Structure 1
Amino acid sequence: MRFLLLAVPLAVALAGPWSVPDSTVHGASFTALGLLGTDFAGRDVWHQVLLGGRSLVLTAGFATAGAYLLGTVWGLTAARAPRMADEILMRPLDVLLAVPSLLLLLVVAALAPDGALAWIVMLVHLPDVARLVRACALEISARPAVEALRLQGESRWRITAGFVVPSMARVLATDAGTRLTGSLYLVAAASFLGVGAPPDAADWAVMVDRNRGGLFLNPWAVLTPALLIVMLAVGLNLTVDRAQKAAS
């Protein structure tokens, strides 16, 4: 069941654009024509569904991967740095943590150029990832095994790369599933609020926003993209939870 919850929206999002005809036919708004009827602009809802998921999935995936790449380097550097350098690295992130994530996204998006949504979501996740990595690195560095490696003459960064990072991999992998779901939420919420995507874009969140006025005329124009977003988020969480239980 969890496999279907994740596989169906992923397949629609990633492979869907290849199944859509090159030419888009416009008709009347909110009619029953086509598999799922038409949307507010008279476009085939099924074609818009096939086109609307790739940007959501790729943007969320890129933002999460970038946040972990930058956050891991940031957190490890802070954990291994002298106290003053540690303070300089971590205190600006505390300022970002004090601002609600969606509010921070909307404020930064209003100042950033178009197409920067993935980078903004990456910025939103960076403080949490960096603090998590730093906390894990400090705890692992206090273990007797690390002291034994120091006594053997291993360098600080070789200990970090060879022991500390592998030791925190499981914690980071567990957090990554939740973080990716959070990225999906932020990207979808931003698109729903008109940030990061044009108002007539083929995007699942935009479809929910723009077609809700015709909910009783053609509910599939709203329910289908909303259901796919929910399936993607729930399926991702269940898959990560199952993978963690299997590894334990």
Structure 2
Amino acid sequence: MRSHRGGLPFGRFALGAVLVCVPLVLALCGPLLVGGPGPRATSFTLGDGHWLGTDFVGRDVWRQVLLGGRPVVVVALTATALAYLVALPLGLISALTHRTWLEETLMRPLDVLLAVPSLLMILLVASVFSPGTTGLALLVALVNIPDAARIVRAAAADVASRPAVEALRMQGESWWRIAVGHVGRSILRPLAADAGIRLTGVLYLVATAAFLGIGVAPDAADWAVMVDRNRTGLFVQPWAVAVPALLIVALTMGCNLLFDAMLRTERDAVPDIVRDIGRDVMKEPRP
């Protein structure tokens, strides 16, 4: 169902918005709503005033959920945004340049980074430094830049080889308008699909790093840490694992649905800049 002709698919957009808003609201507002720590109960206790029970060391699960969202969500979203902030210009420049030396200079160092497994690189850096949450976000962004840049370059190179780009160059359009106004808009769909998958991978890396004690304490209030530390009591106290895991899944699924819903209308759309060039060409007198 669509809200109007050419509009967003409302059902998919609404579902994605709900799935994204729930973990985001809990992550951002949860620490403001949490009360005092209260007395600790026996491990994996249900009831006794703990409506989601207690975790493996007797802490209230609901309180840990309210406190644990901000680290994993903020680190994952920040790392994903930083990765694309660097990968987008690198990929666009590499795809649109006619200078081989510039493309090689930009892409070959990224190939070297891509050859090193992401988790291994994080472990190597963490063995020298002791990154906090900011350092973890920068590390995760760094290991995602090479792959993201290659995807941007591959998608942009296909668009850059089309006659429309050459027409824009012949019309004297600026590099910025060609790269962003035409090529950038044309690759939104593959980038949106990649962003959803990449966010899932970033969440996995952040969770793994949290498990290894990188950027967060092993007993910290963190959704990823909660899933790992409470898994041994899954059949005794499932809420300590299910609730944080479902919140992480909801965030990734919601982002995918939102990206897909917002970009469905772009599938057959022709960028305004191309329509403008087409009008100019039609107005030119024929010899």
- Matching of residue 240 in structure 1 with residue 240 in structure 2: no
Gaps of 5+ in 1: none
Name the TM-score, length of structure 2 as normaliser.
Answer: 0.76
- Matching of residue 9 in structure 1 with residue 11 in structure 2: no
Q: How many equivalent residue pairs?
A: 247
Question: Which residue does the alignment assign to 1:187?
Answer: 206
SS at match of 1:237: helix
Post-superposition Cα deviations, 1:149-208, rounded to whole Å, max 9, x if no partner, equal 222233434432333222223332232222222222221222133222111211011112
Structure 2 CA distance for partners of 1:29 and 1:141, relative to 1, 3 Å: same
- Matching of residue 67 in structure 1 with residue 121 in structure 2: no
For 1:56, which of 45, 49, 72 is the aligned residue? 72
Q: How does 1:8-157 map to 2 (within 5 A)?
A: 8-21=22-35, 23-30=36-43, 31-32=45-46, 33=48, 34-79=50-95, 80=97, 82-115=99-132, 116-157=135-176
- Matching of residue 170 in structure 1 with residue 189 in structure 2: yes
RMSD (CA atoms): 2.4
Structure 2 CA distance for partners of 1:147 and 1:237, relative to 1, 3 Å: closer
SS at match of 2:42: coil
| Deviation of 1:81 (Å) | 5.8
Kept in 1: contact 2:87–2:148 (CA 8 A): yes
Instruction: Tell me which structure has the larger Cα radius of gyration.
Output: 2
SS at match of 1:53: helix
Structure 2 CA distance for partners of 1:218 and 1:168, relative to 1, 3 Å: closer
| Deviation of 1:52 (Å) | 0.6
Identical pairs, percent: 57
| Deviation of 1:60 (Å) | 0.9
Name the TM-score, length of structure 1 as normaliser.
Answer: 0.86
Output the amino acid matched with 2:42.
S
Gaps of 5+ in 2: 1-14, 268-287
SS at match of 2:51: coil
Distance 2:61 2:125 in 1: 32
Kept in 2: contact 1:200–1:206 (CA 8 A): yes
